Structure formats: structure tokens, C-alpha cells
Amino acid sequence: MASSVFQPHPFHWVPADGQRHASADPHPPGASIYPDGTEVTTLCGQELAAEASDTAWLWGTCPVCDVAARRRAGMPPMAGAR
């Protein structure tokens, strides 16, 4: 309850290296995604190049980033998650 700045999602999803990861890196100015090839630091602690192809968004979610992103969003881990 201490936040004074509206930050609904202090991270972004980014397909890279065969999975959808989340990153707290800001998007480039004027961009709503990480352009293809953007080096991002993911919430699971990797430095990966973003992939902006349509099929990249169909990749599975990185489980480590999923947990980290939910924590940042103030949401509990998914009930019954395997």
C-alpha cells in the first residue's frame, strides 16, 4: 500500500530463446514491444535477444518468469500450478 506511482505491470512479456519470458527492462521509446533482437534481462536472470515474430508469442511461458511476474503484479501463484 506504499506505491504512489501507478505501475500496473512493472514488467513486460518477451518471447526469447523458445519461451515467453518476462522482463522489467523498459521498452524502447515509442515501442509497445521489444523489437526483434533487443537484448533484455529476463526475470529468470538471463540475458536474451527478443524475438518479435508472430509464432514466438505461441511459445510456452517460462515457469520461473511466470512466478516472478505474478509476484511483481501482487498476485499469488496460480492455484494448482504444476
Q: Which of 14, 44, 48, 50 binds Zn ion (CB under 5 A)?
A: 44
Q: How many helices (H) and strands (E) does the chain have?
A: 1, 4
Q: How far is CA 49 from CA 19, 28, 46, in A?
A: 12, 14, 10
Is 62 one of the binding residues for Zn ion (CB under 5 A)? yes
Is 14 one of the binding residues for Zn ion (CB under 5 A)? no
In whole angstroms, the minimum distance from the beta carbon of 5 to Zn ion comes to 25
How many CB atoms within 10 Å of residue 41?
Answer: 13
Is 69 one of the binding residues for Zn ion (CB under 5 A)? no
Q: Contact positions toward Zn ion, by CB under 5 A? A: 21, 42, 44, 62, 65
